[in-house]
Amino acid sequence: MKNQSGIISLSLPFAAGVAAAALTARPFEGAAASCLAVCIFFLISVSSGRTGRGPLLMLYFCLGFMCWCTRALNPVLPRPPSPAIGALAGRIENAGFPGEHSAAIIKALLTGQRNSLERSTIAAFRKSGAAHILALSGLHLGVLYIVIRSFMRPIGNSRFARALGSVLTVAACGLYAHATGASPSIVRALLFIIVNELGRQCPDRRPSPLGTFCTALTLQLAFRPDYINSVGFQLSYLAMLGITLVLPWLDKWYPESRYPSPTRYIWKCAALAISCQIFTAPVAWIHFRTFPKYFLITNLIAMPLTELVIAGSVLSLLLDAAGLCPQFLITACGRMVELLEYCLETIASI
């Protein structure tokens, strides 16, 4: 825990330094933010009785500040998705998913391509508070990660099998992240997966959720400090911060039972939506001047259905590529997409 607390305490001033440097593009505001951050870290150091760490905190703050300035002089241009995503989109269109918009929605969920979606469909997702589902994010890579891990179970649980499974899992997730253009939220999820898989190789020293969060945040800002201005980056990390800090607390309100409980599952989904919304709502309001009134209902319905659709679609496409996909699986995926679209259109019309 000592190393983890060190990562946590040092990543925060580094991230604050990057944020303060990004704000310097706005005169006065940036200077005020920098001075305020310096004062806060000095006061924290003094009040905690550990003044010896003050210079170290300031060093990491300055490193973050200089890291952003260096990247601002040499900006990295966004990279388009690879041709493999186009091939995947074509396979989705030819898979035969039933429903007028099923293939278009599945294509948006798996590839991020929304050019085939009707305006009415996009509007229904946006008005119901489910627009984030259509944008490739950590949710999509997380579901893909679970699917890949399930495929790795037959190789066993020996030390070599765990190492091989981790390498193959990270490689598959990394290829998907690279192919889709490596958006900030996808990279964030990939870093979480890498840290989690490293922890699987050392069962006696598994990283804490907050330690994983701070490690990923520091690594991502160190290589791409310009991500600090990305709305997707901000919302992705704020959502994970809510899951890390608030979700365990809310989860305790409904204790685990010895038997499966539908109400317990509903509460877990509601707690997840609330913990994310607490941190993301202010930033979403600043950027978009909107707040989804029915976010709780939307997430209770849309999130489980979306996870099923992504997992079922991935499985269907893999089996279809091998010539082994049963028709009922493709039909089931299409019907779930139709149900998802119907529910969101109903919520949007309220």
pLDDT, one tens digit per residue, over 187-228 is 999 999 998 888 777 767 666 888 888 888 888 888 888 888
> How many percent of the chain have pLDDT more than 90?
6
The reported pLDDT for the residue numbered 338 is: 92
SS3 helix, strand, coil % of the chain, rounded to 5?
Answer: 80, 0, 20
What the block records as the tokens of 235 is: 């919302």
Instruction: Evaluate whether 207 touches 199 at the Cβ level (below 8 Å).
Output: yes
Instruction: Give mean pLDDT, residues 52-64.
Output: 72
Residue 315 neighbours by CB under 8 Å, 6+ apart: 147, 329
Q: Over 50: is that where the pLDDT of 28 sits?
A: no
Reply yes or no on whether the pLDDT at 49 is more than 60.
no
Can you tell me the distance from the alpha carbon of 30 to that of 126, in angstroms, rounded to the nearest whole number?
33
Q: What is the pLDDT, as a whole number, of residue 26?
A: 54
> Of 71-75, 82-86, 215-219, where does mean pLDDT reach its minimum?
71-75
**Tokens describing residue 175:** 């290829």
Among 28-32, 122-126, 157-161, 266-270, which stretch is predicted with the lowest mean pLDDT? Answer: 28-32
Task: Report how far apart, in Å, the C-alpha atoms of 334 and of each of 91, 92, 142, 155, 330 are.
Answer: 15, 11, 21, 31, 6
- Work out the percent of the chain whose per-residue pLDDT is above 70: 84
pLDDT of residue 2: 45
Side chain identity, residue 210: L
Closest CA to 148 of 107, 193, 180: 193
The answer to whether the CB of 328 falls within 8 A of the CB of 336 is: no
**Between 201 and 297, where is the model more confident?**
297
C-beta separation of 235 from 204 below 8 A: no
39-48: long-range contacts (C-beta < 8 A, 24 or more apart)? 41/13, 41/16
pLDDT higher than 70, residue 31? no
Work out the burial of residue 26: count CB atoms within 10 Å of its CB; fewer than 13 is exposed, 13-18 middle, 19 or more buried.
Answer: exposed
Query: What is the Cα–Cα distance from 125 to 50, expressed in whole angstroms?
Result: 49
- pLDDT band (50, 70, 90) for residue 52: low
User: Which pLDDT band holds residue 5 (cuts at 50, 70, 90)?
Assistant: low
H or E element in which residue 158 lies: none
Instruction: Give the mean model confidence (pLDDT) for residues 50-61.
Output: 66
Task: Tell me which DSSP letter residue 227 carries.
Answer: G
Among 296, 281, 309, smallest CA distance to 350 is for: 296
Closest residue by Cα to residue 295 from 232, 239, 233:
239
Q: In this predicted structure, what is the pLDDT of residue 319?
A: 86
Confidence (pLDDT) at 93: 86
Distance of CA 154 to the CA centre of its chain: 27
pTM for this entry: 0.82
pLDDT of residue 54: 63
Q: Are residues 246 and 275 in contact, defined by beta-carbon separation less than 8 angstroms?
A: yes
Q: How many helices (H) and strands (E) does the chain have?
A: 16, 0
In this prediction, residue 42 carries a pLDDT of 47
pLDDT confidence bin for 29, thresholds 50/70/90: very low
Mean of per-residue pLDDT scores for the chain? 79
Give the residue with greater pLDDT, 11 vs 327. Answer: 327
The answer to whether 220 and 188 are in contact (CB under 8 A) is yes
Both tokens of 348, joined, read 């949007």
| pLDDT over 80 at 331, yes or no | yes
